[in-house]
Amino acid sequence: KAEEMDAKEEDAADPQVGGLAPPSTSSSIRKRDQREASQKLKDADEAREREAAQAAADSITRLESWPAPPLPPLEPEEGEPATAMGEGPEGPASFDGSSKGTPPREDTPTLPVPSTPVQPLPLLLHQQQEGQEQEPAAAAEEGAKPSAVRAIGTDTTDTQTDPATSVTGAQPTVPSPPSPPPATQSSPPEPLPLPVHKDDEVIRLGDDPPARPGGEMLSAAAAPLASAAAAPEGDDGEWYSEPESESEVDPETDYVLKPHPSIPPPAGPLLIIILSGIAEAAAAGGAADPANRHNAVCAADTPALDAARAAAAAVGRLRTLRSHGAAVGLPATAGVAHSEASHLTLACGRALPQATTLVDAALASGALFRSPGWRHLRSAFTPPHTVHFIGLLSDGGVHSSVRHLTALLRGAAARGAMRLRVHVLLDGRDVPDGSSVTYIDDLEVELAALRAGGCDARVASGGGRMRVTMDRYQSDWSVVKRGWDAHVLGQAPHKFTDPLTAIIKLRGSEAAPVPDQFLEPFVIVEEDDFDDYQDDDTDYEDEEEDDSDEDKKEGKQRCSSSSSNMNRRGGGRSNRGGGNDRGGLPVGPIQDGDGVVLFNFRADRMLQFAAALEAPEGQFEGFERGRVPKDLRVVGLTRYDQATRVPAHVLVRPAPGRGQHVVGRYLAASGVSSLAVVEAGSAGHITFCWNGNRSGKLHDRLDQHIGVPSDKCEPGRLPKPRAAQVAAAVREALQGGQHRLIRVLLPDPDLAAHTGDMSGTARAIEAVDAAVGQMLSAVDSVNGRWMLTSDHGNADDMVQRDVWGCALYDDDMRPLPYPGHTNAPVPLLIGGAGLPDRVRFRRDLTEGGLANVAATLLNLLGFEAPDVYEPSLVAV
């Protein structure tokens, strides 16, 4: 009756219905106000949705220096080769690094709680109206601060939301409709729709929006990078094919340098010192300033560096450089600084696109799934073969990306792969320690969704990155052998029936857990082989004997709770763990004819394992491999070594010209002898990377290397600094006078900061300071010149922070250590007894980056820089 009365009042209020003026009753006014408020809320919701769609589009940075021609048709005509790898035949000369100011650190270590329902993650959310073509996205605004640990899975039920495989840039925060109620423990996982796709289509998992003209389905946010990855208009389709000779990679170039018109060559050598892990992030108050409480650089006593800084600043020879994002060829809003990108940029003299940027572009356009490397992999899609994915499970952005892994898994499943196995390497070095549980839990959700769609997808093996597989520069082949045994042979000292339980048990007690990066190797076995293992019998007999009963009970509950949560979401086989003393058939050893995808985009810590997979019988000396699977389809996300062409097949080629214009080639062609001095564990940064990711030497006589033995410490222990030994070798080389350029890398601050030990990092910095003082005095004694810089930050901020930048503490008010790199600017100083007083830094280049160092170095040697380099920073 009340509704009828309200209706009559509304009719009476409408002149076309009742013919009367609106009554001035409070009920009518209230109803009118309610309707107006409802309309305002509706309008506000629509505005927020439009803003969210625009934010998703703006989340990907447009690479404006790349050509952006129209995309070619995705379905080639008969007889025409497939198109596009992730780049054009001519890469960009540089990135647009004109961002203003210093962006905040983009590595907030929050650990999101994964969602309960089993649904695939939309890697990029966007909306597309039927009959309308998406507009290109605007460049993302620099300065976003994404979390260092992001979940792989999230919930959405919006049928207009397209989970595209666009994975570039930081993940946008997009409001989604209310999620469905959480699934109960007995609820089966929601099936993942896996439509049949041709290899020239972009992946679509879920409800696809209408296709664009020509059959292409791309989001607005993916359009800029897709355009960058497209083949040039009128191209014959062959430009992406693998080169057949070295001349196709490096065309003939005149590398002889011209003398500088106003800067004469130095009487002595030029010394460039690179301090790894030290950046300019200190507040003005120094060590006493509370803002510097977690800055190990401020905490250290550094008289030599302080004196050099003061002297350089007084005469205009001190400045800062950008070392992350577009300044080194990484995504502008999500490019966390790291050593490989920094040293490649230092050597190349320009910010060429790094591998992660090219992979983002190739995934955004779908070009990765049209590549020769993907076609090479397809023979392993059908039974009895398996496609294996091996790499670092992390979104730290230094070696790999979980977004790349997710896109590859979905791409393989959507294109017919029936059996997938993931071999996970756990981080805790570029992301907060302990985050491996989150990554594994979210990966299990993704794999469960693939299984529900008919694809047998599981985790097969794993271990910590510093103990398993990811050795670098041949420092310790036993690390690679542990990975070979676990991934290839299915053999490891620890066996479990699900990876979450494996991590929880291998980490041990919560009071003193084993760090993620040092976890021992493990394999996953079929649970049916554990006859005597009860569902509720998850014990901790491997725990320390002095653990209290309450600690053990808490560990049991935590393990059981995590496993149950995984089962509820379809992520695990059961809540049973697995004992180290129990046998079982491994679920995913690598067999003859299988496919292997190495999804690390960074070269140094995956090159040795790739070489072990591809080396023929009798031609591998790293370790005894045992069984070597035959006819493997090995594919790398990108090429790891340009000289040895490992791996032979790749999904995305490196940027053209990366090894062509490295500064070492110009120096060798001009008869300049150079020497690289570094401790052995980090030797590749200043040799391999400075050669354009090529092993060996650029010239047998003029390119020399000295490696100081690294400290062999126990896993997780603070390594002893080797700065004093490096300085001794440098002083001897300076006195010898045989080299005109000596480049030195001191990695001690970065290595120490990766352990999270701030006091130990401060001691390492003090050791480096003493070594720097000795080397600067030595170069002045021979009338030489010097440059002092860094490759990226790390020791300058060693605490986890929330989204507001506030330090995080545990329950006992101890700071939570952050072991990863920072994006703070790095210093650059020049000086020396042989440097003319008139040589100072230019004042018109306020946005300089590491790409400007090569031209500056050549000027200080008395040469003009090549035209392809970014401009020099010095003025005369």
Query: pLDDT digit string (tens) for 765-780?
Result: 999 999 999 999 999 9
Structural domain spans, the chain:
2-53, 270-354+659-875, 372-651
What token pair was written down for 428? Answer: 């805790």
In this structure, the chain runs to a length of 876
Q: Is 297 helix (H, G, I), strand (E, B) or coil?
A: helix
Q: What is the rounded distance in angstroms from the CA atom of residue 13 to the CA atom of residue 9?
A: 6
Stretch among 97-111, 365-379, 860-874 having the lowest mean pLDDT:
97-111
pLDDT at 71: 32
pLDDT at 848: 92
Model confidence at 827: pLDDT above 70: yes
pLDDT at 683: 86
**Angle of helix 549-568 versus helix 436-452 axis, rounded to 10:** 30
pLDDT at 250: 55
Helix and strand tally (H, E) in the chain? Answer: 21, 16
pLDDT at 283: 64
| Contact criterion met (CB below 8 Å) for 509 and 542 | no
| Contact criterion met (CB below 8 Å) for 686 and 678 | yes
What token pair was written down for 714? Answer: 């126990």
Stretch among 50-64, 172-186, 258-272, 829-843 having the lowest mean pLDDT:
172-186
Strand partners, 507: none
Strand partners, 636: 598, 650
Q: Long-range contacts for 614-617 (Cβ within 8 Å, ≥24 apart)? A: 614/646, 614/647, 614/648
Is 73 exposed, middle or buried (CB count within 10 Å of its CB: 0-12, 13-18, 19+)? Answer: middle
Q: Mind giving me the DSSP string for 416-430?
A: T--EEEEEEEE-SSS
How remote is the C-alpha of 99 from its chain's centroid? 21
DSSP 290: G
Query: pLDDT digit string (tens) for 247-289?
Result: 345 556 789 999 999 999 999 999 999 999 999 976 655 666 7
Query: pLDDT digit string (tens) for 279-308?
Result: 997 665 566 677 789 999 999 999 999 999
Largest separation between any pair of C-alpha atoms in the chain: 107
Q: Cβ of 641: how many Cβ atoms within 10 Å? A: 20
Query: pLDDT digit string (tens) for 65-104?
Result: 333 333 333 333 333 333 333 333 333 333 333 333 333 4
Q: What is the rounded distance in angstroms from the CA atom of residue 33 to the CA atom of residue 31?
A: 5
Residue percentage of the chain with pLDDT more than 90? 50
Query: Residues with Cβ < 8 Å from 605, sequence gap 6 or more?
Result: 392, 399, 465, 469, 470, 471, 472
Average pLDDT over residues 359-382: 94
Q: Any idea which fold 372-651 has?
A: 3.40.1450
Q: How confident is the model at residue 528 (pLDDT cuts 50, 70, 90)?
A: low
Query: pLDDT digit string (tens) for 653-668?
Result: 887 666 678 999 999 9
Model confidence at 377: pLDDT above 60: yes
Query: pLDDT digit string (tens) for 606-649?
Result: 999 999 999 998 899 999 999 999 999 999 999 998 888 999 99
pLDDT at 531: 44
Q: Cβ of 754: how many Cβ atoms within 10 Å? A: 24
Q: Mind giving me the DSSP string for 342-383?
A: HHHHHHHSS-PPPHHHHHHHHHHHTGGGGSHHHHHHGGGSST
Tell me which amino acid residue 582 is. R
DSSP 817: B
CB environment 428-439: b (16+ within 10 A), e (fewer): bbbbbbbbbbbb
Average pLDDT, the chain: 74
Is pTM, for the whole model, over 0.85? no
Query: Residues with Cβ < 8 Å from 44, sequence gap 6 or more?
Result: none
Strand partners, 822: 793
pLDDT at 694: 86
Stretch among 36-40, 146-150, 377-381 having the lowest mean pLDDT:
146-150
The terminus-to-terminus CA distance of the chain in angstroms comes to 91
Stretch among 86-95, 578-587, 838-847 having the lowest mean pLDDT:
86-95
**Is 247 a known active-site residue?**
no
Q: Which of 729, 857, 756 is nearest to 815 (CA)?
A: 756
Q: How confident is the model at residue 819 (pLDDT cuts 50, 70, 90)?
A: confident
CATH architecture, domain 270-354+659-875: 3-Layer(aba) Sandwich (3.40)
Among 339, 365, 400, 461, the one annotated catalytic: 339
Q: Mind giving me the DSSP string for 224-245?
A: HHHHHHSPPTT--S-TTSPPSS
Model confidence at 155: pLDDT above 70: no
Q: Are strands 741-746 and 270-277 parallel, antiparallel or unpaired?
A: parallel
Model confidence at 196: pLDDT above 60: no
Q: Which of 484, 491, 422 is nearest to 459 (CA)?
A: 422
More confident residue, 32 or 238: 32
| Contact criterion met (CB below 8 Å) for 194 and 453 | yes
Looking up tokens 């997009």 gives 174
Q: How confident is the model at residue 867 (pLDDT cuts 50, 70, 90)?
A: very high
Q: Mind giving me the DSSP string for 142-210?
A: TT---BSS--S------TT--------SSPP----PPPPPPPPTTPPPPPPP-----TTS----SSPPP
